[in-house]
Each structure stands twice: as structure tokens, then as C-alpha cells.
Amino acid sequence: MKKTVIYCVALTALATLSKAQQPFVVEGQLGADKQGYVILDYTSKGNYQRDSAVVTNGKFSFKGVFTDPLYAMADLNPVRGYVTPDKIVPADRIKFFIDGNISIKSSAGLQGATVKGGKTQADYLKREVLYKPLNAELAVLSEKMRPLYTTKNTEAMKPLQAQIAELLKQAKLIDSAFIRQNPDSYVAFDIWRSKHTRGFVVPEWRTGFEQFSKRIRNTYEGKLMAEKLDRADQLVTGKTAPGFSFEDVAGKKVSLVDLKGKNVLLIFWQRYFVPFETFALYLRRAEKRLKDKNTVIVGISYDDDATWRTAAAENFPEWINLNAGPEHISATDMGSVAEAYGVYSGAHLPAAYLISPEGKFLTDRINLNDTELGAKLEKLVK
């Protein structure tokens, strides 16, 4: 009995260990004439990392730690400082996955080097092989396009553009087949994720996400996506709107619960995005239509205090104007309220929701770039 217990403990420890950080080494041997330095870039658990190593007679090495496989790029002697036309040289770089110890071998520079590593790197190479014929065709087409750009020969470009579009379509098919066939591959997940980084996370993404194995869904990025998908499920018609509490222009705290009994048009915004003027116009129009409809417009600003006060007074004097606070001006840390509403970065601004007098969403997230915005909201309010 005791033995079993110990065994179980050992297994649990092992399981924990397998999710813990592990060391990696990247060993490079390029052509013996290569001197200088290599820059290594990757993102680990959402943090961008940059490392550099000296290259002596083609030899260099990096050390680091990883939990999930790291998509990395190595660059040999990139241009330092301000890039001027005379400094531009073709980049000598290579991309690969770090999932243990990596060896990079080449008789020349980094481009075209042989990179050997673990399973993820092997998957990555497998995908590159699939892409090879497409890339070769693309290279030929780009070469044909180049002189047409300079002469602005749009007519001659058209058939080439159509061919390129066809290649891109094939690339998409290769990707989706690769994802389907490799549900336990971090490379497949990385491809999928790269197609799902922009815009708002929507419940429709779940089917795609759930193609992946449990192991993949339990990686750092996998858990992050799972969390966002769960949240997206809560941000649709009929669900209870998350609470908030921020100070208005007079320094008074305003919370969502204070506004019970009224429709709330909630806008997350910032002064400097394009096209702000269109956004402001459509909302001024909507405001006119909602005037006598038991509705308040609440703006949560992600600007510094002065910018917020000026822009709010100029454009939205009738709104309840709140500011998320100086700690959330950055594009990356939007704070817990924005996060609860699926607004994860400055790129998601502006975003808007319509909340009923009972505190429930009257519709899914609102498309603000709509000439009929006011008319649509007018129909939705209670």
C-alpha cells in the first residue's frame, strides 16, 4: 500500500515537472568564415525575449529555459541602429521551434541551415516540405511582378495577381489539412493561433480550438485561449454584463449597479485611433435617437487624464464619462474590466455593448462602424 502511495506521489511530481521550465541549448556551427553575432528572438508565456551570442569562426551557442515549445528566429549580423539605405543587406535568418536542445548546422550563413531538435521542430520541417512547391511558384511570380510595379502596368499584373491569390488559397488548404492531421502538434496549434490573434474572440472559434489534443489545450497559450473562449460565451445576448466602477470627470465613482433601471450603452474608447471622427459622428447620431429612450451612454476611456477630459468634453459632453485610470493607458494592460468584456488590447478599441435595465446584454457586441448604428440601437433598447 505504502509503495503505491509513493508511486502515486512520484507520478504527480513527474506530471508537475513535465509542465515546469526546462533548460534548452542552441548550438550553432556555420561556415568557419562567419564572425560577428547572432540575435535570437522568441516569445515565452506572452513575454518577448531577445538574446544575443558572439559568433567565432562560425560557432555560437545560446542557453535558456522553456515550458512550451518556443517559435524562434535567429538573425546573423542584423543591421544595428538606424537603418539607412546604404546599410540594407539581405537578412540572413532562420526560423525554428525550440523544444529541447537544438543544433543549427550550415557551411555558410543561417539561411538554409539544417536545424535539428525535438518533435515540434520535426513537425515544423514537415510543414515546410508541404509549403516548398508553393514557395517556389510564389518566388517565380514575385520576380515577374517586380518590373510591373515600377512601370505601374496594372493590366499585366492582373493575371499574376490571380495566380498568387490561387497559391494563397492552396496555402490555406495545406494549413487546414495540417491542423486536422496533427491535433497534438504545437506547430499546428501555432498556425491556428496565428490566424486567430486579430479581432475579438468569438464563440465560433471554439470548434477550431477543440480540434487540438488536451496536451496542447493545456499549454500556456492553450489555456489562455480557453479562458477567452469561455469569456466570449458570456458576452452574448441575454447574459449578465460584468460590473465596473470608475471615477467620472468630477471624481465620483460610477458603477454599473448604480445604473439599474436604465439601458446602458457602454463604450470602451480612446481618442487616437482611425477613424475617430466617424466613430464620434455615428455615436452623436445614436445619442440623438436614444435621447428619450431611458438610456445612458457610458464611456470608459483608456486615455491619459488630459486627453480624456478634452476629447470627452468636445465630443461626448452628455455621456457619463469614466476613465479606466493611468495604470491602464498602455495597449497591453487594459485592466480587469476591459478583460471581462473581451477587450484585451488597445487594438480592440473602440468596443461597445448594450445592456438592459436589468443588467443583461440586449445584443452581442455592437459593430460601431455602421451608418445605421443609431437606428439599430433604437430598436434594441427597452
Partner 1 sequence: MKKKIALIILLQLAAAGLYAQTTRIPDFPDTGEDITTYPAVEWLKGGPITALDPGKTYIIELWATWCVPCIAAMPHISEMNEKFKDKGIVFVAQDALEYDREKVVNFVKTKAELANLNVAFAGPQNSDFELRWIKAAGINSIPQTFIIQGNKLLWQTTPYMLNEKVLQLLVDHKFTIEAAKALNGIKQ
Binding site for partner 1 (CB under 8 A): 274-275, 277-282, 284-285, 288-289, 371-372, 374-375
**Alpha-helical segments (H) within 118-200:** 119-151, 154-181, 186-194
DSSP 200: -
Toward partner 1, which CB reaches closer, 109 or 350? Answer: 350
Tell me the closest approach of the beta carbon of residue 344 to partner 1, in angstroms. 25
Q: Which segments within 14-69 are labelled E, that is strand?
A: 22-29, 36-44, 47-55, 59-66
Toward partner 1, which CB reaches closer, 206 or 309? Answer: 309
Dihedral pair phi/psi, residue 88, rounded to 5°: -70, 125
Toward partner 1, which CB reaches closer, 240 or 369? Answer: 369
Return d(Cα 235, Cα 200) in angstroms, integer. Answer: 11
Toward partner 1, which CB reaches closer, 89 or 274? Answer: 274
**Alpha-helical segments (H) within the chain:** 2-19, 119-151, 154-181, 186-194, 206-209, 214-217, 220-233, 276-290, 305-315, 335-340, 373-380
Q: Virtual CA dihedral for 7, 13, 17, 18, nearest 10 degrees? A: 50
Tell me the closest approach of the beta carbon of residue 306 to partner 1, in angstroms. 17
Tell me the closest approach of the beta carbon of residue 347 to partner 1, in angstroms. 18
Toward partner 1, which CB reaches closer, 231 or 285? Answer: 285
Dihedral pair phi/psi, residue 287, rounded to 5°: -60, -40
Q: Virtual CA dihedral for 225, 227, 229, 235, nearest 10 degrees? A: -140
Look at residue 331 and give its three-state secondary structure.
coil
Tell me the closest approach of the beta carbon of residue 377 to partner 1, in angstroms. 12
Tell me the closest approach of the beta carbon of residue 149 to partner 1, in angstroms. 16
Tell me the closest approach of the beta carbon of residue 314 to partner 1, in angstroms. 8
Tell me the closest approach of the beta carbon of residue 155 to partner 1, in angstroms. 12
303-312 b/e (C-beta count within 10 Å ≥ 16 → b): beeebbeebb
Terminal Cα-to-Cα distance of the chain (whole angstroms): 65
The β-bridge partners of 240 are 360
Toward partner 1, which CB reaches closer, 218 or 371? Answer: 371
Least Cα distance to 124 among 25, 191, 65, 76 occurs for: 191
Toward partner 1, which CB reaches closer, 44 or 270? Answer: 270
Which residue do the cell numbers 468636445 mark?
314
Toward partner 1, which CB reaches closer, 333 or 370? Answer: 370
Tell me the closest approach of the beta carbon of residue 376 to partner 1, in angstroms. 10
